[in-house]
Amino acid sequence: MTTTPAPAAAPAPTLRSGTLGTADIAFFVVSAAAPLTVMAGVAPLGLLIGGIGAPAGYLVAGITLTIFAVGFTTMSRHVRNGGGFYAYISRGLGRPAGFGAALLALLGYLAMNIGVYGLLGSATHDTLLSLFDIDVPWPVIALLGVVVIWYGGFRSIDFGAKVLGVLLLGETAILFLLAVAVLARGGAHGLSLHSFAPGNLTTGGMPGVLSMAFAAFTGFESTVIYRREAKDADRTIPRATYAAVAFLGLFYTFIVWMIIQAFGDKEVIATAAKDPTGLFFSAITTYVGPWAADAMHVMIVTSLIASLLAFHNATNRYGLAMAEEGVLPRSLGRIHFRHHSPYIAGIAQSVLAVVVVAGFAAAGADPYTRLLLWVNTPGVLGLITLQLLAALAVPLFFRRITHGEGTLRTVVAPALATLLLGAALCLVIAHIDLLTGASDSVNLVLILLIPAVFVAGLGYALRVRSRRPHIYAAFAADPAEDPGARADSRNAGPADSVLSVTTP
DSSP class per residue in 89-117:
HHHHH-HHHHHHHHHHHHHHHHHHHHHHH
Per-residue pLDDT, 437: 87
Q: Residue 305: CB partners within 8 Å, gap ≥ 6? A: 120, 145, 148, 149, 167
What is the torsion angle, in degrees rounded to the nearest 10, for the CA atoms of residue 141, residue 147, residue 149 and residue 152?
A: -140
CA distance 172 to 169: 5
- Residue 338 is predicted with a pLDDT of 87
User: Which is nearest to 237 in space by CA: 228, 246, 250?
Assistant: 228
Task: Give me the helix-helix angle, 440-467 and 95-132, nearest 10°.
Answer: 140
Residue 298: predicted pLDDT: 95
Residues in contact with 459: Cβ distance below 8 Å, sequence separation at least 6, in sequence order: none
Q: For residue 488, give the 3-state DSSP assignment.
A: coil
State how far the alpha carbon of 173 is from the alpha carbons of 113, 170, 176, 259, 279, in Å: 24, 5, 5, 15, 18
Backbone angles phi, psi at 103, to 5 degrees: -65, -40
Query: Exposed/middle/buried for 157, CB within 10 Å: 0-12, 13-18, 19+?
Result: buried
Instruction: Identify the sign of the CA torsion 325, 453, 87, 347.
Output: positive
Find, among 103, 40, 109, 183, the residue nearest to 353 by Cα.
109
> Residue 437 contacts by C-beta under 8 Å, 6 or more apart in sequence?
369, 373
Rounded to whole angstroms, the Cα distance separating 211 from 434 reads 9
Is pTM beyond 0.95 here?
no
Contact 47, 275 (CB under 8 A): no
pLDDT value at residue 131:
93
Do 38 and 303 form a contact (C-beta atoms < 8 A)?
Answer: no
What integer pLDDT is reported at residue 162 of this predicted model? 85
Task: Give whole-number Cα distances, 271 to 265, 275, 282, in Å.
Answer: 11, 6, 9
What amino acid is encoded at 154 in this protein? F
Of the candidates 469, 39, 358, which has an alpha carbon nearest to the alpha carbon of residue 212? Answer: 39
DSSP, residue by residue, 44-89: HHHHHHHGGGHHHHHHHHHHHHHHHHHHHHHHHTT---TTTHHHHH
d(CA 84, CA 458): 18
DSSP 371: I
pLDDT at 157: 79
Q: What are the phi and psi torsion angles at 477 (to 5°)? A: -75, 160
In contact, 112 and 383? CB cutoff 8 Å: yes
Rounded CA gap, 491 and 211, in Å?
46
The backbone torsions φ and ψ at residue 172, rounded to the nearest 5 degrees and listed phi first, read -75, -35
DSSP-assigned beta bridge partners for residue 20? 230
Could you give the 3-state DSSP secondary structure of residue 20?
strand
CB 227 within 8 A of CB 482: yes
Task: Report residues of the chain scoring pLDDT below 50.
Answer: 481-504
Number of Cα atoms under 13 Å in the Cβ half of residue 362: 6
